[in-house]
Structure 1
Amino acid sequence: MIPAQSLATLDTVVSLKKSDRMPVLFLGHGSPMNAIGDNAYLRSWQALGAEFGSKVPRPQLILCISAHWLTEGWWLTGMAQPKTIHDFGGFPQELFDQQYPAPGDMAAAQAISQAVRQRASAPLGLDMTEWGLDHGSWAVLKPMFPEADIPVIQLSMDYSRAPEDHYALARQLKALRQRGVLVVGSGNIVHNLPQMQRGAAAHQAYDWALEFDQITGGLVQQGNLDALQNFLKLGQVAKMAHPTHEHYLPLLYAAGAADAGEPMRFFNTSFQGGSISMRSVVWG
Protein backbone atom coordinates (compact mmCIF):
# COMPACT_ATOMS: atom_id res chain seq x y z
CA MET A 1 0.00 0.00 0.00
CA ILE A 2 1.19 3.54 -0.74
CA PRO A 3 2.37 5.35 2.40
CA ALA A 4 0.02 8.17 3.48
CA GLN A 5 2.82 10.73 3.44
CA SER A 6 3.60 9.87 -0.19
CA LEU A 7 -0.05 10.32 -1.16
CA ALA A 8 -0.09 13.66 0.61
CA THR A 9 2.93 14.68 -1.45
CA LEU A 10 1.17 13.58 -4.61
CA ASP A 11 -1.92 15.60 -3.64
CA THR A 12 0.19 18.70 -3.29
CA VAL A 13 2.05 18.19 -6.54
CA VAL A 14 -0.95 17.67 -8.80
CA SER A 15 -3.48 19.75 -6.83
CA LEU A 16 -6.11 17.04 -6.73
CA LYS A 17 -9.18 16.73 -4.57
CA LYS A 18 -9.62 13.42 -2.84
CA SER A 19 -13.23 13.18 -4.07
CA ASP A 20 -12.22 13.18 -7.73
CA ARG A 21 -12.05 9.38 -7.98
CA MET A 22 -11.39 8.37 -11.54
CA PRO A 23 -12.53 5.27 -13.42
CA VAL A 24 -10.01 2.70 -14.66
CA LEU A 25 -9.74 1.79 -18.34
CA PHE A 26 -8.40 -1.16 -20.23
CA LEU A 27 -8.40 -0.38 -23.94
CA GLY A 28 -7.77 -2.89 -26.70
CA HIS A 29 -5.79 -0.79 -29.17
CA GLY A 30 -5.23 -3.30 -32.00
CA SER A 31 -3.81 -2.05 -35.29
CA PRO A 32 -2.19 1.41 -35.34
CA MET A 33 -4.53 2.16 -38.26
CA ASN A 34 -7.40 2.35 -35.78
CA ALA A 35 -6.03 5.76 -34.79
CA ILE A 36 -6.87 7.40 -38.14
CA GLY A 37 -9.80 7.52 -40.53
CA ASP A 38 -13.38 6.66 -39.66
CA ASN A 39 -13.75 3.35 -37.87
CA ALA A 40 -15.81 1.94 -35.01
CA TYR A 41 -12.88 1.77 -32.59
CA LEU A 42 -11.90 5.39 -33.09
CA ARG A 43 -15.51 6.46 -32.60
CA SER A 44 -15.77 4.41 -29.40
CA TRP A 45 -12.68 6.13 -27.95
CA GLN A 46 -14.10 9.52 -28.90
CA ALA A 47 -17.40 8.66 -27.19
CA LEU A 48 -15.57 7.46 -24.09
CA GLY A 49 -13.59 10.69 -23.92
CA ALA A 50 -16.83 12.69 -24.16
CA GLU A 51 -17.99 11.13 -20.88
CA PHE A 52 -15.24 12.96 -19.02
CA GLY A 53 -16.47 16.37 -17.99
CA SER A 54 -20.10 15.29 -18.32
CA LYS A 55 -20.69 11.99 -16.49
CA VAL A 56 -17.43 12.04 -14.53
CA PRO A 57 -14.85 14.76 -13.78
CA ARG A 58 -12.04 15.26 -16.25
CA PRO A 59 -8.81 13.66 -15.09
CA GLN A 60 -6.05 15.95 -13.97
CA LEU A 61 -3.37 13.41 -14.83
CA ILE A 62 -3.29 10.26 -16.99
CA LEU A 63 -1.07 7.31 -16.11
CA CYS A 64 -0.87 5.01 -19.14
CA ILE A 65 0.59 1.51 -19.26
CA SER A 66 1.22 0.47 -22.85
CA ALA A 67 2.17 -2.93 -24.25
CA HIS A 68 4.92 -1.22 -26.22
CA TRP A 69 7.32 -0.01 -23.52
CA LEU A 70 9.26 -2.95 -22.09
CA THR A 71 12.26 -2.30 -19.87
CA GLU A 72 14.55 -3.74 -17.23
CA GLY A 73 12.91 -2.62 -14.02
CA TRP A 74 9.95 -0.23 -14.04
CA TRP A 75 10.23 3.32 -15.35
CA LEU A 76 8.07 6.43 -15.59
CA THR A 77 8.38 9.12 -18.23
CA GLY A 78 9.60 12.16 -16.33
CA MET A 79 10.12 14.72 -19.08
CA ALA A 80 8.11 17.94 -19.33
CA GLN A 81 7.15 17.33 -22.96
CA PRO A 82 7.14 13.62 -23.94
CA LYS A 83 7.68 13.05 -27.64
CA THR A 84 5.25 11.17 -29.86
CA ILE A 85 6.80 7.82 -30.77
CA HIS A 86 5.91 6.03 -34.01
CA ASP A 87 7.01 2.54 -33.01
CA PHE A 88 5.81 0.66 -36.11
CA GLY A 89 6.61 0.26 -39.77
CA GLY A 90 4.97 -0.32 -43.12
CA PHE A 91 2.01 2.03 -42.60
CA PRO A 92 0.83 5.10 -44.54
CA GLN A 93 2.59 8.42 -44.01
CA GLU A 94 -0.58 9.82 -42.45
CA LEU A 95 0.01 7.58 -39.45
CA PHE A 96 3.62 8.74 -39.04
CA ASP A 97 2.43 12.35 -39.23
CA GLN A 98 0.29 11.93 -36.12
CA GLN A 99 1.42 13.94 -33.12
CA TYR A 100 0.07 14.06 -29.58
CA PRO A 101 1.72 17.00 -27.78
CA ALA A 102 0.29 16.33 -24.33
CA PRO A 103 2.55 17.66 -21.58
CA GLY A 104 4.24 15.48 -19.01
CA ASP A 105 4.39 16.28 -15.32
CA MET A 106 7.87 16.01 -13.89
CA ALA A 107 6.85 16.71 -10.29
CA ALA A 108 4.00 14.19 -10.38
CA ALA A 109 6.29 11.56 -11.93
CA GLN A 110 8.75 12.05 -9.11
CA ALA A 111 5.99 11.78 -6.51
CA ILE A 112 4.56 8.61 -8.08
CA SER A 113 8.07 7.18 -8.33
CA GLN A 114 8.41 7.49 -4.56
CA ALA A 115 4.83 6.46 -3.74
CA VAL A 116 4.56 3.37 -5.95
CA ARG A 117 7.35 0.97 -5.07
CA GLN A 118 8.86 -2.03 -6.80
CA ARG A 119 8.99 -5.35 -4.97
CA ALA A 120 12.43 -4.51 -3.57
CA SER A 121 11.02 -1.27 -2.08
CA ALA A 122 13.01 0.70 -4.63
CA PRO A 123 11.39 3.73 -6.30
CA LEU A 124 10.34 3.48 -9.92
CA GLY A 125 12.97 4.79 -12.31
CA LEU A 126 12.52 8.15 -14.01
CA ASP A 127 13.21 8.41 -17.75
CA MET A 128 13.96 12.03 -18.55
CA THR A 129 15.10 11.70 -22.18
CA GLU A 130 14.68 8.35 -23.94
CA TRP A 131 10.99 7.38 -24.28
CA GLY A 132 7.79 9.37 -24.62
CA LEU A 133 4.28 8.35 -25.68
CA ASP A 134 4.23 5.29 -27.95
CA HIS A 135 1.29 4.34 -30.13
CA GLY A 136 -0.21 2.19 -27.39
CA SER A 137 -0.77 5.46 -25.55
CA TRP A 138 -1.35 8.21 -28.07
CA ALA A 139 -3.47 6.15 -30.49
CA VAL A 140 -6.20 5.80 -27.83
CA LEU A 141 -5.65 9.04 -25.88
CA LYS A 142 -5.72 11.36 -28.89
CA PRO A 143 -9.31 10.41 -29.85
CA MET A 144 -10.38 10.60 -26.21
CA PHE A 145 -8.70 13.90 -25.34
CA PRO A 146 -7.88 15.59 -28.66
CA GLU A 147 -6.97 18.91 -27.00
CA ALA A 148 -3.88 17.18 -25.52
CA ASP A 149 -4.24 19.42 -22.47
CA ILE A 150 -4.12 16.72 -19.76
CA PRO A 151 -0.63 15.72 -18.57
CA VAL A 152 0.32 12.14 -19.46
CA ILE A 153 2.87 9.92 -17.73
CA GLN A 154 3.68 6.51 -19.18
CA LEU A 155 4.72 3.56 -17.00
CA SER A 156 6.93 0.87 -18.50
CA MET A 157 6.72 -2.85 -17.81
CA ASP A 158 9.56 -5.14 -16.77
CA TYR A 159 8.86 -8.10 -19.05
CA SER A 160 11.33 -10.31 -17.16
CA ARG A 161 9.03 -10.30 -14.12
CA ALA A 162 6.25 -12.81 -13.47
CA PRO A 163 2.62 -11.74 -14.02
CA GLU A 164 2.01 -11.69 -10.27
CA ASP A 165 4.78 -9.09 -9.87
CA HIS A 166 3.02 -6.80 -12.36
CA TYR A 167 -0.28 -7.30 -10.60
CA ALA A 168 1.27 -6.60 -7.20
CA LEU A 169 2.71 -3.33 -8.45
CA ALA A 170 -0.60 -2.48 -10.10
CA ARG A 171 -2.48 -2.85 -6.82
CA GLN A 172 -0.57 0.19 -5.59
CA LEU A 173 -2.01 2.29 -8.41
CA LYS A 174 -5.52 2.09 -6.99
CA ALA A 175 -4.93 4.91 -4.49
CA LEU A 176 -3.98 7.27 -7.33
CA ARG A 177 -7.57 7.19 -8.58
CA GLN A 178 -8.68 9.17 -5.55
CA ARG A 179 -6.28 11.92 -6.59
CA GLY A 180 -7.84 12.47 -10.00
CA VAL A 181 -5.42 10.16 -11.84
CA LEU A 182 -6.92 8.20 -14.74
CA VAL A 183 -5.19 4.82 -15.01
CA VAL A 184 -5.27 3.46 -18.58
CA GLY A 185 -3.98 0.03 -19.61
CA SER A 186 -3.54 -0.31 -23.37
CA GLY A 187 -2.98 -3.74 -24.92
CA ASN A 188 -5.16 -6.62 -26.14
CA ILE A 189 -6.77 -9.56 -24.34
CA VAL A 190 -5.83 -11.75 -27.31
CA HIS A 191 -2.86 -10.79 -29.49
CA ASN A 192 -1.32 -13.20 -32.00
CA LEU A 193 0.00 -11.30 -35.02
CA PRO A 194 1.41 -14.33 -36.93
CA GLN A 195 -2.08 -15.88 -37.02
CA MET A 196 -3.87 -12.77 -38.30
CA GLN A 197 -6.20 -13.19 -41.28
CA ARG A 198 -6.52 -9.77 -42.88
CA GLY A 199 -9.89 -10.44 -44.45
CA ALA A 200 -11.61 -11.75 -41.32
CA ALA A 201 -14.76 -9.95 -40.23
CA ALA A 202 -15.11 -8.41 -36.78
CA HIS A 203 -17.28 -11.31 -35.56
CA GLN A 204 -14.85 -13.98 -36.81
CA ALA A 205 -12.10 -15.45 -34.61
CA TYR A 206 -10.16 -18.66 -34.08
CA ASP A 207 -11.63 -21.05 -31.53
CA TRP A 208 -8.64 -20.57 -29.21
CA ALA A 209 -9.01 -16.79 -29.47
CA LEU A 210 -12.68 -16.97 -28.59
CA GLU A 211 -11.98 -19.33 -25.70
CA PHE A 212 -9.28 -17.16 -24.14
CA ASP A 213 -11.31 -14.00 -24.64
CA GLN A 214 -14.39 -15.57 -23.04
CA ILE A 215 -12.47 -16.98 -20.07
CA THR A 216 -10.79 -13.65 -19.42
CA GLY A 217 -13.98 -11.67 -19.93
CA GLY A 218 -15.78 -14.02 -17.57
CA LEU A 219 -13.26 -13.41 -14.80
CA VAL A 220 -13.57 -9.67 -15.25
CA GLN A 221 -17.37 -9.80 -15.25
CA GLN A 222 -17.41 -11.96 -12.11
CA GLY A 223 -15.06 -9.56 -10.35
CA ASN A 224 -12.50 -12.35 -9.95
CA LEU A 225 -9.69 -9.98 -10.84
CA ASP A 226 -6.96 -11.71 -8.84
CA ALA A 227 -7.36 -14.77 -11.10
CA LEU A 228 -6.29 -12.77 -14.16
CA GLN A 229 -2.65 -13.02 -13.13
CA ASN A 230 -2.81 -16.82 -13.51
CA PHE A 231 -3.48 -16.78 -17.25
CA LEU A 232 -0.37 -18.81 -18.11
CA LYS A 233 -1.90 -21.78 -16.29
CA LEU A 234 -4.37 -22.07 -19.18
CA GLY A 235 -1.59 -23.77 -21.12
CA GLN A 236 -1.87 -24.11 -24.86
CA VAL A 237 -4.81 -21.75 -25.26
CA ALA A 238 -2.78 -19.04 -23.48
CA LYS A 239 0.24 -19.73 -25.71
CA MET A 240 -1.91 -19.35 -28.81
CA ALA A 241 -3.61 -16.21 -27.50
CA HIS A 242 -0.24 -14.70 -26.54
CA PRO A 243 2.94 -16.08 -28.15
CA THR A 244 4.47 -13.26 -26.10
CA HIS A 245 2.27 -11.71 -23.44
CA GLU A 246 3.23 -8.03 -23.38
CA HIS A 247 -0.22 -7.13 -24.74
CA TYR A 248 -1.94 -8.97 -21.89
CA LEU A 249 0.04 -7.37 -19.07
CA PRO A 250 -1.65 -3.92 -19.32
CA LEU A 251 -4.90 -5.68 -18.37
CA LEU A 252 -3.27 -6.67 -15.07
CA TYR A 253 -2.39 -3.03 -14.38
CA ALA A 254 -5.95 -1.87 -15.03
CA ALA A 255 -7.48 -4.75 -13.06
CA GLY A 256 -5.05 -4.17 -10.21
CA ALA A 257 -6.23 -0.57 -9.94
CA ALA A 258 -9.89 -1.64 -9.92
CA ASP A 259 -12.04 -2.96 -7.08
CA ALA A 260 -13.47 -6.45 -7.51
CA GLY A 261 -17.03 -5.37 -6.76
CA GLU A 262 -17.22 -2.04 -8.52
CA PRO A 263 -19.41 -1.54 -11.60
CA MET A 264 -17.82 -2.42 -14.92
CA ARG A 265 -18.82 -2.55 -18.55
CA PHE A 266 -17.35 -4.00 -21.74
CA PHE A 267 -17.20 -2.36 -25.12
CA ASN A 268 -15.54 -3.16 -28.47
CA THR A 269 -16.14 -6.89 -27.91
CA SER A 270 -15.00 -7.79 -31.43
CA PHE A 271 -11.87 -9.09 -33.14
CA GLN A 272 -9.39 -7.84 -35.71
CA GLY A 273 -7.98 -10.36 -38.14
CA GLY A 274 -9.45 -13.26 -36.15
CA SER A 275 -6.58 -13.22 -33.64
CA ILE A 276 -6.70 -9.84 -31.89
CA SER A 277 -9.39 -9.24 -29.30
CA MET A 278 -10.47 -5.62 -29.03
CA ARG A 279 -12.48 -6.22 -25.85
CA SER A 280 -12.17 -3.18 -23.61
CA VAL A 281 -13.27 -2.52 -20.05
CA VAL A 282 -14.35 0.46 -17.97
CA TRP A 283 -14.42 0.08 -14.19
CA GLY A 284 -16.09 2.59 -11.91
Structure 2
Amino acid sequence: MRRLPSLFLSHGSPMMALEPSPARDFLAGLGAQLPRPSAILMVSAHHDAAYDGGRATVTASPTPPTIHDFGGFPDELFAMRYPAPGDPALAERVVDLLGAHGLPVTADPHRGLDHGAWVPLSLIYPQADVPVVQLSIASNASPEWHYAQGQALAPLRDEGVLVIGSGSITHNLRALFAARLPIDAPAPEWVTTFTDWVAERMAEGVIDDVLHAVERAPHGHDNHPTMEHILPLFVAMGAGAGTGGLPFESERLHASITYGLLAMDVYAFGGETARL
Protein backbone atom coordinates (compact mmCIF):
# COMPACT_ATOMS: atom_id res chain seq x y z
CA MET A 1 0.00 0.00 0.00
CA ARG A 2 1.35 3.41 -0.98
CA ARG A 3 2.09 5.73 1.92
CA LEU A 4 -0.32 8.65 2.00
CA PRO A 5 0.69 12.26 2.61
CA SER A 6 -0.78 14.22 5.47
CA LEU A 7 -2.63 17.39 4.53
CA PHE A 8 -3.47 20.77 5.98
CA LEU A 9 -6.32 22.68 4.42
CA SER A 10 -7.89 26.04 5.15
CA HIS A 11 -11.63 25.47 5.36
CA GLY A 12 -12.66 29.13 5.21
CA SER A 13 -16.32 30.05 5.60
CA PRO A 14 -19.04 27.37 5.72
CA MET A 15 -20.34 29.08 2.57
CA MET A 16 -17.53 27.39 0.65
CA ALA A 17 -19.97 24.48 0.37
CA LEU A 18 -22.21 26.68 -1.81
CA GLU A 19 -20.25 29.62 -3.23
CA PRO A 20 -17.86 29.37 -6.19
CA SER A 21 -14.25 30.21 -5.39
CA PRO A 22 -10.75 29.09 -6.43
CA ALA A 23 -10.38 27.21 -3.13
CA ARG A 24 -13.67 25.39 -3.69
CA ASP A 25 -12.57 24.40 -7.18
CA PHE A 26 -9.24 23.14 -5.89
CA LEU A 27 -10.77 20.99 -3.15
CA ALA A 28 -13.36 19.63 -5.58
CA GLY A 29 -10.51 18.20 -7.65
CA LEU A 30 -8.24 17.11 -4.82
CA GLY A 31 -9.77 13.69 -4.18
CA ALA A 32 -8.97 12.58 -7.72
CA GLN A 33 -5.29 13.47 -7.18
CA LEU A 34 -4.92 11.39 -4.01
CA PRO A 35 -4.54 7.64 -3.65
CA ARG A 36 -7.86 6.31 -2.41
CA PRO A 37 -7.71 6.22 1.42
CA SER A 38 -9.29 3.48 3.51
CA ALA A 39 -10.36 6.12 6.06
CA ILE A 40 -9.80 9.74 7.02
CA LEU A 41 -8.62 11.13 10.35
CA MET A 42 -9.74 14.76 10.45
CA VAL A 43 -8.32 17.22 12.99
CA SER A 44 -10.65 20.22 12.98
CA ALA A 45 -10.23 23.61 14.62
CA HIS A 46 -13.88 23.38 15.70
CA HIS A 47 -13.41 20.29 17.87
CA ASP A 48 -11.52 21.80 20.81
CA ALA A 49 -10.72 19.90 23.99
CA ALA A 50 -10.25 23.20 25.83
CA TYR A 51 -14.03 23.71 25.58
CA ASP A 52 -14.90 20.08 26.20
CA GLY A 53 -13.94 19.83 29.85
CA GLY A 54 -10.27 19.67 28.91
CA ARG A 55 -10.77 16.17 27.58
CA ALA A 56 -9.18 15.32 24.22
CA THR A 57 -11.56 13.09 22.27
CA VAL A 58 -11.78 11.14 19.05
CA THR A 59 -15.14 10.34 17.46
CA ALA A 60 -16.11 6.67 17.65
CA SER A 61 -19.66 6.68 16.30
CA PRO A 62 -20.30 4.26 13.41
CA THR A 63 -22.69 6.88 11.97
CA PRO A 64 -21.44 10.35 12.99
CA PRO A 65 -24.11 13.06 12.59
CA THR A 66 -23.53 16.27 10.64
CA ILE A 67 -23.08 19.19 13.07
CA HIS A 68 -24.23 22.63 11.91
CA ASP A 69 -22.09 24.60 14.35
CA PHE A 70 -22.71 28.07 12.92
CA GLY A 71 -25.44 30.66 12.59
CA GLY A 72 -26.75 33.30 10.22
CA PHE A 73 -26.33 31.30 7.01
CA PRO A 74 -28.88 30.25 4.37
CA ASP A 75 -31.30 27.41 5.04
CA GLU A 76 -29.69 25.49 2.17
CA LEU A 77 -26.51 25.16 4.22
CA PHE A 78 -28.37 23.89 7.28
CA ALA A 79 -30.14 21.33 5.09
CA MET A 80 -26.86 19.78 3.99
CA ARG A 81 -25.78 16.43 5.44
CA TYR A 82 -22.53 14.54 5.06
CA PRO A 83 -23.47 10.92 5.87
CA ALA A 84 -19.98 9.39 5.78
CA PRO A 85 -19.63 6.33 8.00
CA GLY A 86 -17.46 6.43 11.07
CA ASP A 87 -14.74 3.93 11.95
CA PRO A 88 -14.75 2.84 15.61
CA ALA A 89 -11.75 0.56 15.01
CA LEU A 90 -9.72 3.50 13.71
CA ALA A 91 -10.81 5.55 16.72
CA GLU A 92 -9.40 2.85 19.00
CA ARG A 93 -6.18 2.80 16.95
CA VAL A 94 -5.86 6.56 17.47
CA VAL A 95 -6.42 6.11 21.22
CA ASP A 96 -3.68 3.45 21.32
CA LEU A 97 -1.15 5.42 19.26
CA LEU A 98 -1.56 8.61 21.25
CA GLY A 99 -1.64 6.79 24.57
CA ALA A 100 1.62 5.04 23.75
CA HIS A 101 3.24 8.48 23.43
CA GLY A 102 1.78 9.83 26.67
CA LEU A 103 -0.94 11.80 24.85
CA PRO A 104 -4.17 10.38 26.28
CA VAL A 105 -7.41 10.74 24.35
CA THR A 106 -10.89 9.35 24.97
CA ALA A 107 -13.17 7.78 22.37
CA ASP A 108 -16.50 9.63 22.13
CA PRO A 109 -19.30 7.42 20.74
CA HIS A 110 -21.73 10.32 20.22
CA ARG A 111 -19.99 13.35 18.70
CA GLY A 112 -20.42 14.00 14.99
CA LEU A 113 -18.56 15.93 12.29
CA ASP A 114 -18.41 19.73 12.58
CA HIS A 115 -18.25 22.08 9.59
CA GLY A 116 -14.46 22.15 9.68
CA ALA A 117 -14.65 18.49 8.67
CA TRP A 118 -17.77 18.02 6.56
CA VAL A 119 -17.67 21.19 4.46
CA PRO A 120 -14.27 20.48 2.87
CA LEU A 121 -14.89 16.73 2.77
CA SER A 122 -18.16 17.31 0.90
CA LEU A 123 -16.00 18.75 -1.88
CA ILE A 124 -13.07 16.32 -1.74
CA TYR A 125 -15.17 13.16 -1.39
CA PRO A 126 -18.71 14.21 -2.33
CA GLN A 127 -20.04 10.64 -2.27
CA ALA A 128 -19.37 10.50 1.51
CA ASP A 129 -18.15 6.94 1.03
CA VAL A 130 -14.84 7.14 2.93
CA PRO A 131 -15.09 6.53 6.71
CA VAL A 132 -14.26 9.61 8.80
CA VAL A 133 -12.98 9.91 12.37
CA GLN A 134 -12.42 13.33 13.97
CA LEU A 135 -9.78 14.17 16.59
CA SER A 136 -9.89 17.24 18.80
CA ILE A 137 -7.27 19.94 19.11
CA ALA A 138 -6.57 21.57 22.48
CA SER A 139 -6.27 25.35 22.14
CA ASN A 140 -4.82 25.53 25.67
CA ALA A 141 -1.92 23.23 24.66
CA SER A 142 1.29 24.23 22.89
CA PRO A 143 2.17 24.00 19.21
CA GLU A 144 4.75 21.37 20.18
CA TRP A 145 2.02 19.23 21.79
CA HIS A 146 0.06 19.25 18.55
CA TYR A 147 3.16 18.47 16.50
CA ALA A 148 3.89 15.53 18.82
CA GLN A 149 0.31 14.32 18.30
CA GLY A 150 0.93 14.28 14.58
CA GLN A 151 4.20 12.42 14.98
CA ALA A 152 2.46 9.76 17.07
CA LEU A 153 -0.19 9.37 14.36
CA ALA A 154 2.30 9.08 11.48
CA PRO A 155 2.02 5.24 11.28
CA LEU A 156 -1.56 5.68 10.06
CA ARG A 157 -0.19 6.98 6.76
CA ASP A 158 1.17 3.47 6.06
CA GLU A 159 -2.19 1.96 6.96
CA GLY A 160 -4.21 3.73 4.28
CA VAL A 161 -5.46 6.53 6.55
CA LEU A 162 -5.43 10.09 5.24
CA VAL A 163 -4.57 12.48 8.10
CA ILE A 164 -5.99 15.97 7.48
CA GLY A 165 -5.65 19.07 9.61
CA SER A 166 -8.52 21.47 8.88
CA GLY A 167 -8.16 25.05 10.09
CA SER A 168 -7.09 28.26 8.39
CA ILE A 169 -3.72 29.76 7.59
CA THR A 170 -5.25 33.15 8.56
CA HIS A 171 -8.25 33.62 10.83
CA ASN A 172 -9.24 36.99 12.27
CA LEU A 173 -13.05 36.99 12.40
CA ARG A 174 -13.32 40.41 14.06
CA ALA A 175 -11.42 42.00 11.18
CA LEU A 176 -13.38 39.92 8.67
CA PHE A 177 -16.77 40.99 9.99
CA ALA A 178 -15.67 44.63 10.29
CA ALA A 179 -14.35 44.75 6.72
CA ARG A 180 -17.28 42.92 5.05
CA LEU A 181 -15.31 42.54 1.82
CA PRO A 182 -16.63 40.72 -1.26
CA ILE A 183 -15.56 37.12 -1.77
CA ASP A 184 -13.06 38.05 -4.51
CA ALA A 185 -11.48 41.03 -2.73
CA PRO A 186 -7.65 41.10 -2.79
CA ALA A 187 -5.72 40.50 0.40
CA PRO A 188 -4.11 43.39 2.27
CA GLU A 189 -0.37 43.39 2.92
CA TRP A 190 -0.74 42.26 6.52
CA VAL A 191 -2.30 38.99 5.32
CA THR A 192 0.05 38.21 2.43
CA THR A 193 3.19 39.09 4.40
CA PHE A 194 2.23 36.51 7.00
CA THR A 195 1.32 33.74 4.57
CA ASP A 196 4.45 34.33 2.48
CA TRP A 197 6.61 34.14 5.62
CA VAL A 198 5.01 30.84 6.60
CA ALA A 199 5.46 29.46 3.08
CA GLU A 200 9.13 30.44 3.05
CA ARG A 201 9.87 28.87 6.44
CA MET A 202 7.92 25.78 5.44
CA ALA A 203 9.94 25.39 2.22
CA GLU A 204 13.18 25.81 4.18
CA GLY A 205 12.10 23.19 6.71
CA VAL A 206 12.43 25.56 9.66
CA ILE A 207 9.87 23.69 11.76
CA ASP A 208 10.37 25.68 14.96
CA ASP A 209 9.66 28.96 13.17
CA VAL A 210 6.44 27.58 11.67
CA LEU A 211 5.33 26.24 15.05
CA HIS A 212 5.82 29.74 16.48
CA ALA A 213 4.66 31.72 13.45
CA VAL A 214 2.04 33.60 15.48
CA GLU A 215 4.78 35.07 17.68
CA ARG A 216 7.59 35.36 15.12
CA ALA A 217 6.05 36.12 11.74
CA PRO A 218 5.11 39.66 10.72
CA HIS A 219 1.47 40.33 11.62
CA GLY A 220 1.22 36.91 13.31
CA HIS A 221 -1.18 38.05 16.02
CA ASP A 222 -3.19 40.08 13.52
CA ASN A 223 -3.87 36.92 11.53
CA HIS A 224 -4.37 34.67 14.56
CA PRO A 225 -5.73 36.57 17.57
CA THR A 226 -6.55 33.08 18.89
CA MET A 227 -4.68 29.87 18.14
CA GLU A 228 -7.32 27.28 17.33
CA HIS A 229 -7.29 27.62 13.53
CA ILE A 230 -3.53 27.21 13.11
CA LEU A 231 -3.14 24.25 15.50
CA PRO A 232 -4.39 21.63 12.99
CA LEU A 233 -1.48 22.67 10.75
CA PHE A 234 0.97 21.45 13.37
CA VAL A 235 -0.72 18.06 13.69
CA ALA A 236 -0.53 17.60 9.91
CA MET A 237 3.12 18.66 9.91
CA GLY A 238 3.96 16.15 12.63
CA ALA A 239 2.14 13.34 10.84
CA GLY A 240 4.11 14.12 7.69
CA ALA A 241 7.44 14.27 9.50
CA GLY A 242 6.97 11.21 11.74
CA THR A 243 9.69 10.24 14.20
CA GLY A 244 12.27 8.66 11.89
CA GLY A 245 14.57 11.67 11.59
CA LEU A 246 13.87 12.15 7.87
CA PRO A 247 14.19 15.64 6.37
CA PHE A 248 11.01 17.67 6.73
CA GLU A 249 9.38 18.17 3.33
CA SER A 250 6.26 20.05 2.40
CA GLU A 251 4.45 21.30 -0.66
CA ARG A 252 2.10 24.26 -0.89
CA LEU A 253 -0.61 22.79 -3.09
CA HIS A 254 -2.90 25.81 -3.26
CA ALA A 255 -3.00 29.48 -2.29
CA SER A 256 -5.91 31.84 -2.79
CA ILE A 257 -7.92 34.42 -0.83
CA THR A 258 -11.61 34.66 0.02
CA TYR A 259 -13.29 37.75 1.46
CA GLY A 260 -9.93 39.54 1.38
CA LEU A 261 -8.77 38.24 4.76
CA LEU A 262 -9.16 34.45 4.67
CA ALA A 263 -6.10 32.85 3.09
CA MET A 264 -7.03 29.41 1.78
CA ASP A 265 -3.62 27.73 1.66
CA VAL A 266 -3.41 23.93 1.38
CA TYR A 267 -0.23 22.01 2.23
CA ALA A 268 0.86 18.39 1.84
CA PHE A 269 3.55 16.76 3.97
CA GLY A 270 5.55 13.58 3.70
CA GLY A 271 8.51 13.67 1.36
CA GLU A 272 8.02 12.22 -2.11
CA THR A 273 4.39 11.46 -1.35
CA ALA A 274 3.73 15.18 -0.83
CA ARG A 275 4.31 15.78 -4.56
CA LEU A 276 0.87 14.96 -5.87
The two structures have a TM-score, normalised by structure 1, of 0.85
Conservation of the 8 A alpha-carbon contact between 1:192 and 1:240: yes
Change (3 A) 1:188 1:147: same
Query: Alignment partner for residue 132 of structure 1, among 99, 109, 112?
Result: 112
Runs of 4+ with deviation above 3 angstroms: 200-203, 259-263
Helix, strand or coil at the partner of 1:208? helix
Deviates more, 1:26-35 or 1:38-47: 38-47
Q: What code does the residue aligned with 1:69 have?
A: H
Change (3 A) 1:26 1:79: same
Q: What code does the residue aligned with 1:161 have?
A: A
Change (3 A) 1:201 1:123: closer
Conservation of the 8 A alpha-carbon contact between 1:115 and 1:123: no
State the partner residue of 1:276: 262
Q: C-alpha distance in 2, partners of 1:102/1:257?
A: 23
Query: Alignment partner for residue 67 of structure 1, among 11, 20, 45?
Result: 45
Unaligned runs of 5+ in 1: 1-18
Q: C-alpha distance in 2, partners of 1:49/1:148?
A: 12
Helix, strand or coil at the partner of 1:84? coil
State the partner residue of 2:214: 232
Q: Alpha carbon RMSD of aligned pairs, Å?
A: 1.9
1:174-213: CA deviation from partner (whole Å, max 9, x where unpaired): 2210111101111111111111233356462232212211
1:234-256: CA deviation from partner (whole Å, max 9, x where unpaired): 27722111111111111111111
Change (3 A) 1:224 1:234: closer
State the partner residue of 2:163: 183
State the partner residue of 2:205: 223
Q: C-alpha distance in 2, partners of 1:242/1:172?
A: 26
Q: C-alpha distance in 1, partners of 2:201/2:11?
A: 21
Q: C-alpha distance in 2, partners of 1:122/1:67?
A: 18
Percent identical: 39
Unaligned runs of 5+ in 2: 242-246
| 1:174-213 correspondence runs (5 A) | 174-196=154-176, 197-200=179-182, 202=184, 204-213=186-195
Conservation of the 8 A alpha-carbon contact between 2:42 and 2:163: yes
Q: C-alpha distance in 2, partners of 1:122/1:271?
A: 35
Query: Alignment partner for residue 153 of structure 1, among 129, 133, 143?
Result: 133
Aligned residue pairs, count:
259
Conservation of the 8 A alpha-carbon contact between 2:147 and 2:236: no
Helix, strand or coil at the partner of 2:268? strand
Conservation of the 8 A alpha-carbon contact between 1:67 and 1:186: yes
Q: C-alpha distance in 2, partners of 1:186/1:162?
A: 17
Conservation of the 8 A alpha-carbon contact between 2:103 and 2:149: no
Change (3 A) 1:37 1:211: closer
Q: What code does the residue aligned with 1:280 have?
A: V
Aligned-pair CA distance for 1:116? 1.8
Change (3 A) 1:263 1:253: closer
Change (3 A) 1:181 1:134: same
Aligned-pair CA distance for 1:39? 3.2
